[in-house]
Amino acid sequence: MDYISGLNDRQKEAVLHPEGPLLILAGAGSGKTRVLTHRIAYLIEERKIFPGNILAITFTNKAANEMKERVAELLGGDIGYIWMGTFHSICVRILRQDIDKIGYDRSFSIYDRDDQITLMKECIKEQNLNKDIYKERSILGNISSLKDAMISPDTYINQNYNDYYRRNVGELYALYQKKLKQNNALDFDDLIIKTLELFRADPMVLDYYQKKFKYIFVDEFQDTNKSQYELIRLLADKHKNLCVVGDDDQSIYKFRGADITNILNFEKDFPNTKIIKLEQNYRSTKNILNVANHVIKNNSERKDKSLWTDNEEGNLVVVETLPDSQEEAYFVANMIEKLMVEGYKPSDFAILYRTNAQSRTFEEVFIKRGIPYKIVGGLRFYDRKEIKDILAYLKLIQNPVDDISLKRIINVPKRGIGNATMGKIEQYANEVGESIYSVLQKLDDIPDLSTRAKNSIKGFVEIVNNLMRIKEQMSIKDFIEEVLKETNYIKELEKQDDIESRTRLENIREFISVAVDFEVKNPEGNLEDFLATVSLLSDVDKTEDLKNTATMLTVHSAKGLEFPVVFLVGMEEGLFPIFRALDNESELEEERRLCYVAITRAQKLLFITHAKIRTIYGNTSYSLPSRFIDEIPKNLITTTEESSNLGNNKRRLVNIVDRTKRRKNNTVKSQENKDKVQVGTKVNHKKWGIGTVVQIKNKDEDKELVIAFNEPIGLKRLLLSIAPIEIVKGD
DNA sequence: CCGATTTGTATTTTT
DNA sequence: TACAAATCGG
């Protein structure tokens, strides 16, 4: 097969590059994924490289899966042996094999942010530090940076011995690590750090992987941090066939330790690096690309490059000023409706914002308008209470020394084991230096426990012991169901029987189907693998494409994606760029890169909006258009007022559309049967007036309706049989 | 010990 | 604003 037809010269060069280090500087939309997949396919097919000798590291699991599919498509063969995944998932895979060599158990837990915070709270308390000065969140931030930079607690303490605060942070760091180890747990950063530690501790292990990975690929190289770079440097040290792809203009994770100097170091660490620049953009129109180029050129710290495209000129970029965030949302909704008439599908649209909080207004308006949408991010599926509870049960069963998980669920559902009891147990466990679960096995040794408490605990221990026993005997799905049954988790929720508990049950059902899905895709996978996969999943990973919905997401999570029509909203000073960045040149440059990423997501049409008044966290203030808008030459932009013939008052445009929408709501009472109610039906409620049905769920014999009423009533949930509503005839 | 209420506080991005 | 932690009363 021909792997280079249809590629430009630069791309071909990258695909056919023989051996040795390769640095691809790939501008936005320059077809880097294409280059990567074609190169991998070429290596396997033409150069007869065994797939198991290839390692490809991507930024998200979703990107990894896509890459796998595309390579498989090119080859039409089995590529299951290729290691593809994020830094974190690759490290888990390595650690599951050999972490016992650095003193952990292979059944280790992975701690997420909440777990980390809980653990840090304990540390601060134990060190007798003032919790108003030592905030767990910021301490954890410090520690994370230290880990990224590969600085150990001891080093940090010694370096800062005369600085009281920093020394204490160092002490907390040390204690935090000690506790993680006691719990046989790793946090996200540890996954990288401990892999490095393993390689250092056991050269045989390192040697194995160095020999195995003859070809290594790293995507989104600009967003790797120091420790991640060190990891790939080590792995590639033997064969030096390291291919990294990155774009310094799209580096947007500096706050998380991403280190642009990695691109510079690369040439130093790998002499004779071949550098290939991909500068032809295949994604956007000339106008959109032009706007992007004009914005990003205001950054001083960047490699000079010039993206160009053969694509059509396209429409001018629309910059629209709106009175407030509500009107902004209406503007976007109106525009979407208009464009759908012209043939665009809902899935063609993306609404990009700087902060997750901005999604709410859009959500409300889209519901009212009946525009299907999905939100990426916000409260994540795996962050929901019920999901975290189940996960805590599973983690405990898998790793019984995981005190953090145990404490999360020992009284969930309520078993009468409260703070007082737990205090006594923890104190005793500390004294004897054992895990909580272990001391719970010998209750009579723990002083001062009431008989009642003892009985409750006995019940709990019995359930968990029993679950541990049967863990191996069934599928993951069956086991999760068994856990839910034995712990009475489902029963308690069913007893509660309200809207909240029903949503939770639904989420649990979805979680079970996630497990089923996992088992189908990983027939060999066990509970540990499942837990690791779930803990390392990001939001973007979870969103399926091709659903016929518009997408709302932050600019950060939009990285790597593209959409025919992009609405870049909330472009105001203080919001984008965010106000914390206003007085700091390097942070401003990161905001500008973020803006560049946002603009370059658009293929055909780009709308940029800003509101004159915005309410953030309860206070309303006037806001100025973002400086990034000023950086765009005026001849490249327009307004809807200019570009359409709808008169010279653009406020009128919005209002007119608004009023037409509302006129439909005129109450026309009808005797129609309530059974005709469906999503989108307008109804008149005795007390709340006109609303639109946005969701219908079956509930026993009845139906539960979610109805969106006009402000200030908002969303309400009602039972069809008893709700005092009438259907309103449209038009 | 539990649940409800009040109080307070933090508001960027996330593997 | 909105959510979580702290506090209070049963």
Task: Based on the residue annotation, tell me whether A220 is a catalytic residue of this protein.
Answer: yes
List pLDDT tens digits, range A102-147.
Answer: 999 999 999 888 888 888 888 888 888 877 778 888 888 889 989 9
Q: Is the CB of A617 under 7 A from strand C?
A: yes
Do the first three CATH levels of A9-100+195-280 and A300-378+544-647 match, i.e. the same topology?
Answer: yes
Residue type for position A19: E
What pLDDT sits at residue A650? 36
pLDDT digits (tens, 9 = 90+) for A513-569: 889 988 988 888 889 889 888 888 766 666 655 568 899 999 998 988 999 999 999
Q: Would you list the DSSP string of A254-273?
A: GGGT--THHHHHHHHHSTT-
- Tokens 């037409």 sit at which residue? A660
Check if residue A618 sits with its Cβ under 7 angstroms from strand C: yes
Tell me the mean pLDDT in the region A663-683. Answer: 48
The identity of residue A701, as a single letter, is E
CB-CB contact of A603 with A563 (8 Å): yes
Cβ count near A497 (within 10 Å): 11
Continuous segment of H or E residues that includes residue A564:
strand A563-568
**Chain B nucleotides reached by a protein CB under 7 Å:** 1-3, 10-15
Q: How confident is the model at residue A665 (pLDDT cuts 50, 70, 90)?
A: very low
Bin A439: left if φ > 0, else alpha if -120 < ψ < 50, else beta: alpha
The pLDDT > 70 percentage for chain A reads: 87
Residue A616: nearest nucleotide (C-alpha to C1')? C1
Q: Which CATH number fits domain A109-183: 1.10.10.160, 1.20.120.10, 1.10.287.3510, 2.40.37.10?
A: 1.10.10.160
Residue A386 has pLDDT above 80, yes or no: yes
Q: Given 3.30.310.50, 3.40.50.300, 3.30.2230.10, 3.30.360.10, which CATH number is that of A9-100+195-280?
A: 3.40.50.300
Spatial CB neighbours of A450, under 8 Å, sequence gap ≥ 6: A421
Q: How far is the CA of A362 from the C1' of C1 (A)?
A: 17
Known catalytic residue at A223: no
User: Can you spell out the DSSP letters for A151-216?
Assistant: --HHHHHHHTTT-HHHHHHHHHHHHHHHHHHHTTEEEHHHHHHHHHHHHHH-HHHHHHHHHH-SEE
Domain parsing of chain A, residue ranges = 9-100+195-280, 109-183, 300-378+544-647, 403-522, 681-727
- Cα(A390)–Cα(A521) distance, rounded to whole angstroms? 21
Kindly state the average pLDDT of the residues A168-186.
92
How much is the pLDDT for A418? Answer: 80
pLDDT top residue among A392 and A703: A392
Mean pLDDT taken over chain A = 84
Task: Name the pairing type of β-strands A715-719 and A702-709.
Answer: antiparallel
CA of A24 to C1' of C4 (A): 46
> What is the helix (H) or strand (E) element at residue A215, kind and residue range?
strand A215-218
Residue A731: predicted pLDDT: 30
Strands A682-685 and A689-699: antiparallel
Distance A44 CA to C3 C1' (A): 52
For the stretch A604-625, pLDDT in tens is 999 999 999 888 877 788 889 9
A634 CB-side CA count, 13 A: 1
* DSSP-derived secondary structure letter, A572: B
In whole angstroms, give the CA distance from residue A321 to residue A609: 6
Residue whose token pair is 């691809």: A24
Alpha-carbon torsion angle A96, A98, A100, A102, nearest 10: -120
Burial A509-518 (b: 16+ CB within 10 A, else e): eebbebbeeb
* CA–CA dist A62, A45 (Å, integer): 24
Output the pLDDT for position A711. Answer: 52
Please report which residue ranges of A312-435 form alpha helices under DSSP H: 325-341, 359-369, 385-398, 403-409, 419-432
Question: Which is the catalytic residue, given A12, A33, A171, A717?
Answer: A33
List the helix and strand counts (H, then E) for chain A: 29, 23
The answer to whether the beta carbons of residues A376 and A383 sit under 8 Å apart is no
Distance CA A622, CA A459 (A): 59
Q: Which of the pair, A309 or A699, is modelled with greater confidence?
A: A309
Number of other residues whose CB lies within 10 A of the CB of residue A403: 24
A32 labelled catalytic: yes
**Tens digits of residue pLDDT in A68-85:** 888 988 888 777 889 999
Contact residues for strand B with beta carbon within 7 Å: A 59-60, 86-88, 113, 135, 137, 188, 252, 255-256, 354-357, 377, 411, 414-421, 453, 536, 538-540, 554, 556-557, 578, 580-581, 617-618
User: Which residue has the least CA–C1' distance to nucleotide B14?
Assistant: A256
Amino acid at A234: L
User: Whole-structure pTM over 0.75, yes or no?
Assistant: yes
Residue matched to tokens 């996200």: A188
Overall average pLDDT of the A454-472 stretch? 91
The pLDDT score that the predictor gives to residue A660 is 28
pLDDT of residue A698 exceeding 60 = no
The helix/strand/coil state of A167 is helix
pLDDT (average), residues A445-455: 85
Secondary structure letter of residue A354 according to DSSP: S
Given pLDDT bands bounded at 50, 70 and 90, which one contains residue A503?
confident
Handedness of CA A413, A415, A418, A423 (dihedral sign): negative
d(CA A329, CA A138): 34
> Which one is the CATH code of A403-522: 3.40.640.10, 1.20.1260.10, 1.10.230.10, 1.10.486.10?
1.10.486.10
Residues written for chain A: 731
Asked whether residue A378 carries a pLDDT value surpassing 80, the answer given is no
Confidence at residue A620, expressed as pLDDT on a 0 to 100 scale: 82
User: Which pLDDT value is given to residue A540?
Assistant: 65
pLDDT at residue number A50: 92
Q: What is the mean pLDDT of residues A199-205?
A: 95
Tell me: pLDDT of A220 over 70: yes
Of residues A62 and A564, the one with the higher pLDDT is A564
Report domain A300-378+544-647's class.
Answer: alpha beta
